Amino acid sequence: MKKAPLTYLNENNGSGILAFGTGPTFILDKKSDLDAMQSFIDANKGAYIFTTLSYDLKLKIQGLESSNRDSQNYPLATLWVPKTVVAIENEKIKDYLIGEESNENEAFVSDFFDDSQSIEFKLDAKFKARLTKEVYLNQVNDLKNEIQQGNIYEVNFCQEFFAEKVELKYPIQAYFKLNQLTKAPFSCYSSLGNFEIFSGSPERYIKKEGLKLISQPIKGTAKRGQSKEEDLRLKERLLADPKERAENVMIVDLVRNDLSKIARKNSVKVDELFGIYSFETVHQMISTISCEVEETTSFTDVLKATFPMGSMTGAPKHSAMKLIEKYENFKRGIYSGAIGYIAPNGDFDFNVVIRTLIYNRETKYLSCPVGGAITIQSSPEAEYEECNIKVQSILKGMNA
């Protein structure tokens, strides 16, 4: 039985947006183009359009193909106009953004949050790494050689952890279990077609408010400490780490360059450099870049200039993406893509799909990719450890 679409965007500060109810849908595949996608957006102006963007949308934007294994089978993009959109405050309806107030809608929202507590959820899935440690270390050394030769300055290298034949009967509970572990500000649950996506993302890809665009790339990760003193030391060490700062500033420069393609003259600026933010399992180094755009700038204009996001590619972007296809052994799909919404007035807000589980109900395939930035200063062993810190905090927690 086909499930009705649903998306929950959770800021983890008591606020969120819940969208539900069948409405117009657009699926971008290899036969479609970005003009058709923009036409769908234009035709539904005045509505909320909840949108997912696969990393492999680069096929349309950057002209890059991939022959890597595609186990997710995720579309290049999905756009869906829900019947009802409600603002959530402390798991109750604060306001109707789209749709009419009704007992049926009130009951739906109440049931959604009641379901999150209805069982003690345990994933019980056996994950395997698609890369062995030996191969991972060799690939990182090869990428460092590419950097040494001047082909790139930095590259985001990912690997996939996956489980097969997974019976996921309680997807809502699965999302809330993940959210307990991550408690991230760009967390979301998306159910559309055959796919369930559970994201504990701490990262914003891009936001539009009026004529202002804001991007907040993350580069730099440190684990949380066992005590307040250790936690503070790890936080201070992250801020001072020359390798992490080099990673971050390279991506800041890349984002500045991307935004300059569509920005009003002299409007691109760095609002914050090397901000350190603490989440449930990690500290992150986050920078904020913004610009002003013209009123005629469309959503797909912004995608063409900025997607995929630099924090998930590397620099220079095109060269890094070519090497990603060479050295990775899986198609990223929705991982390192984006999930968010376009508002009725044309504003939008999208996360970066990291710290995320992707489930294909039809094939019963569950994917949890993870990655990190490789620079000339990278230690392959340290990069491997960083990936494991990120992924095991999720996998062990979900199976507990």
Q: Average pLDDT in the 8-29 region? A: 97
Cα–Cα distance, 57 to 64 (Å, whole number): 9
- Cα dihedral 75, 80, 84, 85 in deg (nearest 10): 80
Residue 181 covered by a domain: yes
At residue 279 the predicted structure's pLDDT band, cuts being 50, 70 and 90, is: confident
Long-range contacts, 256-261 (Cβ 8 Å, 24+): 256/289, 258/215, 258/305, 258/306, 258/310, 258/317, 259/213, 259/215, 259/289, 259/290, 259/291, 259/305, 259/306, 260/291, 261/305
| Number of neighbours of residue 15 by Cβ within 10 angstroms | 14
Residue 391 covered by a domain: yes
For residue 248, which of 156, 354, 319 has the smallest C-alpha distance?
156
Residue 153 covered by a domain: yes
Residue 1 covered by a domain: no
pLDDT at 2: 59
Residue 366 covered by a domain: yes
Q: What is the CATH classification number for the domain harbouring 273?
A: 3.60.120.10
Question: What would the pLDDT profile of 226-271 be if each residue is shown by its tens digit?
Answer: 999 999 999 999 999 998 998 899 999 999 999 999 999 999 999 9
Residue 246 covered by a domain: yes
Residue 48 covered by a domain: yes
- Say yes or no to pLDDT of 302 above 70: yes
Query: Which carries the bigger pLDDT value, residue 221 or residue 193?
Result: 193
Stated pTM of the model = 0.95
Residue 41 covered by a domain: yes
Domain range enclosing 308 = 6-399
Indicate which residues carry an active-site annotation: 203, 219
- Say yes or no to pLDDT of 46 above 90: yes
Number of H helices, E strands in the chain: 10, 21
Range with the poorest average pLDDT among 101-110, 274-283, 288-297, 324-333: 274-283
Range with the poorest average pLDDT among 34-48, 85-99, 140-154, 211-225: 211-225
At residue 390 the predicted structure's pLDDT band, cuts being 50, 70 and 90, is: confident
Radius of gyration of the chain (CA): 20
- In 138-226, where do the E strands start and end? 154-163, 186-192, 195-201, 204-209, 212-216, 218-223
Domain count, the chain: 1
Q: Is the dihedral of CA 49, 55, 60, 61 positive or negative?
A: positive
Q: Is the dihedral of CA 351, 356, 361, 363 positive or negative?
A: positive
